[in-house]
Structure 1
Amino acid sequence: MYKVRIKSHFSSAHNLREYQGACERLHGHNWKVEAYLKSKTLDKLGMVEDFKMFKKHLNVIMDELDHEYINELEYFKTVNPTSENIAKYIFDKLAIHYGEKVDKVIVWETDTSAAEYTKD
């Protein structure tokens, strides 16, 4: 299995609904995102995916989230904006373009805390 990975980032604010603690209050993060694609085969150039196109699709999603109050985005009006749910949101958006090639998405809210979403 071949895998490729890219990294990106965005800054935004959120609050966790019904959380018992400080994270229930409005706060922000400088999120780091890792996105992975996988494939058993390579294209005619020998790639899983052109990094340029992969970055382009991920950056469109980052632009949706960057400098936003995540709770006010349509998807997160009913889904608590935890790191886990943000990872799934990004995964699902990438899957629109890449389908089953999307392997996983990791969202880091701090340098020591991350959440990962994969279909497995």
Structure 2
Amino acid sequence: MATIRLTKEFSFEAAHALEEYDGACREIHGHSYRLFVTVKGRPCADESHPKCGMVMDFGDLKRIVGEEVVSRLDHAFVLRRSPANEALARLLGERFHRLVEVDYQPTCENMLADFAARIARRLPAGVELHALRLHETATSFAEWYAEDNR
């Protein structure tokens, strides 16, 4: 049986600010993110199984990415957890419910590494995370490949 790759696209809206960055992204700003998730595996060959012929049910992939990424970040403000941001996070948390603090600078690159870890641990046996692509804008994106991270 051949190894097959499946890709599903997701989108979410989120804001962030890059702490101590030396450009415009230091300010609070938002993006319409587009995330492409590619998994790979061999289609189920068991003709008595309801998933026969599938590497993975697209619905299961949608649920996993929805829970681990989209529902967590959609319409949220992503902020690095740090002493410099502590007072700001406390103040924003009193007013807004969608503040997500992370232990890294919330760049496109770092977000991908976080997403990869979250998604990979939820995939069914025999299915591997192959690649992620995160578009921050229509013309700017970062990519993560499993083969580069072994």
Do both proteins adopt the same fold according to a TM-score greater than 0.5, normalized to the shorter chain? yes
Secondary structure of 1:97's aligned partner = coil
Aligned to 1:24: 26
Mapped to 1, the partners of 2:123 and 2:145 lie a distance apart of 14
Q: Deviations over 1:13-39 (max 9, x none)?
A: 001122111001110001000001011
- Any runs of at least 4 consecutive aligned residues in structure 1 with deviations exceeding 6 A, and if so which? none
Q: Tell me which amino acid in the other structure corresponds to 1:11.
A: E
| Displacement after TM superposition at 1:119 (Å) | 2.6
| Displacement after TM superposition at 1:91 (Å) | 1.3
Aligned to 2:72: 64
Count of matched residue pairs: 117
Mapped to 2, the partners of 1:91 and 1:12 lie a distance apart of 18
Q: Tell me which amino acid in the other structure corresponds to 1:56.
A: R
Alignment of 1:49-88 (within 5 A): 49-60=56-67, 61-71=69-79, 72-74=99-101, 76=102, 78-88=103-113
Mapped to 1, the partners of 2:146 and 2:73 lie a distance apart of 22
Q: Deviations over 1:29-61 (max 9, x none)?
A: 01000001011x211311110001111111112
Q: TM-score, normalization: structure 2?
A: 0.73
**Pair member with larger Rg:** 2
Identity of aligned residues (%): 29
Secondary structure of 1:90's aligned partner = helix
Q: TM-score, normalization: structure 1?
A: 0.90
Matched, 1:115 2:142: yes
| Displacement after TM superposition at 1:62 (Å) | 0.4
Alignment of 1:32-43 (within 5 A): 32-39=34-41, 41-43=42-44
Q: Tell me which amino acid in the other structure corresponds to 2:43.
A: L
Q: Deviations over 1:40-91 (max 9, x none)?
A: x2113111100011111111120100111111524x2x30000011111111
Mapped to 2, the partners of 1:69 and 1:18 lie a distance apart of 17
Give the RMSD, CA atoms, in angstroms.
1.5
